[in-house]
Amino acid sequence: MQTRTLGKTNLQISRLGLGLSEIGYGLTMAEEAQAAQLLNTALDMGINFLDTSACYNISEELLGRAIAHRRDEYVLATKCGHVAGGYQGQDWTPQTITDSIERSLKRLKTDHIDLVQFHSPDVADLEKDENIQALLDARQAGKTRFIGCSNDNEGAMWAVESGIFDTLQTSYNLVDQAARRDLLPKAKAKNMGVIIKRPIANAAWGAETNPSNYAHTYFIRAKEMLAAGPIPGVPDDRILLALGYVFAQDLADTMIVGTLNPRHLAANIEMVDSLLPIDEKVVEELNGRFDRVEDEWIQLR
């Protein structure tokens, strides 16, 4: 697996990361063995960047139970800011942020997290100095090595321009391209680590029916971009196309893809390791079609 340096953090991370919302929402604690199989497969095949969140139901617990004994083999990222996991309190207060990080450490069975990220805050939440200070205090105390922000649109731009955060996680894919115009170049210019979420656009490209309620907007956008006709040179596999599109831009250090299926995981790794890059003319055409048909298409949160 290829690796990249995660911006100013100097962490060496795999170009393909594993998003862990699916194991949190799709499994139960009784299915720990399934989570362990997926996580160990990822590590064994070269993925070392694991992205979870306090909000992803039991994701942190499963990760901690399954692979805490391999802690030195992966870069661990989680998120905070919201009330989750039975916690009593309010979103986006210093106490909630602090308590969330403490709870994550226990669930993940570790004495430190490599990257703690704010989880989709509004600009008003980011502008509260006490919230930022709570995250800085966690870094100062050694509870996290680096701090980041997972966000889109105005909140993401605020995070980049503030100069506070080490990393940015944001939405970017072949039907969600707004970030390439301004946001991602600015983040890279500041040497922020860039993590791409939703790189395969929820498999909406080329789907005959809407793949999910969440992907409805992506599905509609894909249909509009495809209305101009076939794109010469497009790979037969639409997942390969989506991954290849993001990789070709050279605007990201890693992209995170989630799955519950070890076979799908292995297939994604094979694509990244052996089947990229895709034809640069395909990337140019995708960019052109987005620019021609988009009508203020903002990033999806």
Q: Is residue 298 part of a domain?
A: no
The residues carrying an active-site annotation are 56
Give the tens place of pLDDT for each residue, 224-270.
999 999 999 999 999 999 999 999 988 999 999 999 999 999 999 99
Give the tens place of pLDDT for each residue, 50-82.
999 999 999 999 999 999 999 999 999 999 999
Locus of tokens 């909630």: 96
Between helix 32-44 and helix 59-67 the angle, nearest 10°, is 60
| Count: domains in the chain | 1
Q: Is residue 187 part of a domain?
A: yes
Q: What is the pLDDT of residue 209?
A: 85
Reference 132, options 140, 281, 248; nearest CA is 140
Q: What is the pLDDT of residue 214?
A: 75
295 pLDDT above the threshold of 80? no
Percent of the chain with pLDDT over 90: 92
176 pLDDT above the threshold of 90? yes
pLDDT level of residue 94 (50, 70, 90 thresholds): very high
Claim: this prediction has a pTM higher than 0.75 = yes
Give the tens place of pLDDT for each residue, 1-54.
999 999 999 999 999 999 999 999 999 999 999 999 999 999 999 999 999 999
Q: Is residue 45 part of a domain?
A: yes
Q: Is residue 232 part of a domain?
A: yes
Q: Is residue 211 part of a domain?
A: yes
212 pLDDT above the threshold of 80? no
DSSP string, 31-99: GHHHHHHHHHHHHHTT--EEE--TTSTTHHHHHHHHHGGGGGGSEEEEEESS--TT--S-SS-HHHHHH
What is the distance between the alpha carbons of residues 123 and 156, in angstroms, rounded to a whole number?
9
CATH number of domain containing 39: 3.20.20.100
* Mean pLDDT, residues 76-103: 96
Q: Is residue 248 part of a domain?
A: yes
Q: Is residue 147 part of a domain?
A: yes
Q: Is residue 269 part of a domain?
A: yes
Domain span including residue 150: 3-293
